[in-house]
Structure 1
Amino acid sequence: MSVLPLVFTSGWASGINAYAVVLLLGIFGATGVSDDVPPALQRTDVLIVAGVLFLCEAVADKIPYVDSIWDSAHTVIRPLSGAVIAALLAGQSGSLPEVAAGAVGGSTALVSHLVKAGTRMAVNTSPEPFSNVLVSIAEDLGVAGIVTFAVFNPVAAAIIAAVLLVLGIVTVFLLVSRIRRFLRRRAQRREEKRLAAAGAADGPPH
């Protein structure tokens, strides 16, 4: 069977939480649940690093504004992770060229990441912090559920991931006004910090 559905699903999931994808696939491979997981993802050191980074993300992802800073820092990391995971999966199965798999996984992860980051910007315009926690938990559970499902039924999982990706893109377009509001607030805060720093550097009036 072609590895393409698993490549697509892992790319979608990597755009949301790349560390969870590495951790889950690695565990499934190391425990013998799946034979499609490449040995590189099953290494103990890889699993430990992925586990630590997953815990860091689990905390940062639930704090308003910190989650958006975290997302910005991962604009390169998540797509790159999606591409690497996809290439490794393709190399393991031999049913898809690794370069093509990397392109599919990386581009899917990039779109998924942009959807996640845009949604979080919109959520951060809400005055209460609980929506961030709920959205983050839903994302974590979604990634865990679909990656697990993909190991046993990759085609069905890929269809679900594709539907969620399209729904996410539509949602971001509907939330454009809230995203712009978030960006204005962030720009305003940066300007206030800049002015405060400039005032402190000038010192007290003589």
Structure 2
Amino acid sequence: MPIMEIIGLAGSVSLLSGWRLYLCVFATGLAMRLDALPVPEHLASLGVLENPWVMGIAALGALAEFFADKVMWLDSIWDTVHTAVRPVGGALLALAIVDPSDPAMQVIAFMLGGGASFLAHGGKASARAVVNTSPEPVSNAVVSTGEDIATVGLLWLAYEYPIAAGSIAVVLFALMIALLLIARRIIKRVFFRSPKVER
């Protein structure tokens, strides 16, 4: 697999794990177990994801996240707790994707994977903080379900078409930057409104 495809694949998986780490681990392990995702020889270290224990823990985490993410403000608490977990998980997934015989590439993948996952986590957490300002609870469930569907779909696309994985990573990166900027503007407007001067 060419170097740019590997970087694109590692970037896509890392960014998606910033949204849904447990779902990424479980979906990848399940796809490998069902032989729906043939793993190239140099990605053999990803084989650990199809271990029943790893899949079981990832499934429990994904299930807990699925429900926690649908409840207003509980999702923000969940995101806060996972501020350290998701970037480390994303970095380790990126590390598993690159060739273990190339130490320089492993260091790059670990740093970029962690950074990409942290950026995605920040964009998601900021967007959810904005959604939580809405008084009705339905928007939270809709946004969360959209994230679930997008994560599974984009993960499948990245693994099935590694050439497209780089494009997916670039689009996700741009989306995360846009979400951060929009959330910053809205949060500033909602929480830091200057008081009106009465005449």
TM-score range, shorter chain: 0.7 to 0.9
Q: 1:154 to 1:183 in 2, by over 3 A?
A: farther
Name the SS of the counterpart of 1:97 in structure 2.
helix
Give the Cα separation in 1 of the matches to 2:166 and 2:138.
30
Answering whether residue 33 of structure 2 is matched by residue 30 of structure 1, we say yes
Answering whether residue 158 of structure 2 is matched by residue 155 of structure 1, we say no
Give the Cα separation in 2 of the matches to 1:93 and 1:62.
42
Q: 1:124 to 1:56 in 2, by over 3 A?
A: same
Alignment root-mean-square deviation, CA: 2.1
Q: Which has the higher contact order (CA 8 A, sep 6+)?
A: 2
> In the alignment, which residue of structure 1 is the partner of 2:197?
none
> Within 5 Å, which residues of 2 pair with 1:81-100?
81-91=89-99, 97-100=105-108
Query: Structure 2 residue aligned with 1:121, among 129, 134, 157?
Result: 129
Give the Cα separation in 2 of the matches to 1:180 and 1:69.
20
Q: 1:182 to 1:140 in 2, by over 3 A?
A: farther
Deviation track 1:123-176 (CA, whole Å, cap 9, x = no partner) reads: 111010111101101111111001001111123133123213212322331232
Structure 2 residue runs without a partner (length 5+): 193-199
Q: 1:130 to 1:161 in 2, by over 3 A?
A: farther
Give the Cα separation in 2 of the matches to 1:49 and 1:182.
38
Give the Cα separation in 1 of the matches to 2:103 and 2:146.
33
The aligned amino acid for 1:35 is V
> In the alignment, which residue of structure 2 is the partner of 1:191?
none
> In the alignment, which residue of structure 2 is the partner of 1:203?
none
Answering whether residue 105 of structure 2 is matched by residue 105 of structure 1, we say no
1:64–1:124: 8 Å Cα contact kept in structure 2?
Answer: yes
> In the alignment, which residue of structure 2 is the partner of 1:79?
87
Calculate the TM-score normalised by the size of structure 2.
0.85
Structure 1 residue runs without a partner (length 5+): 185-206
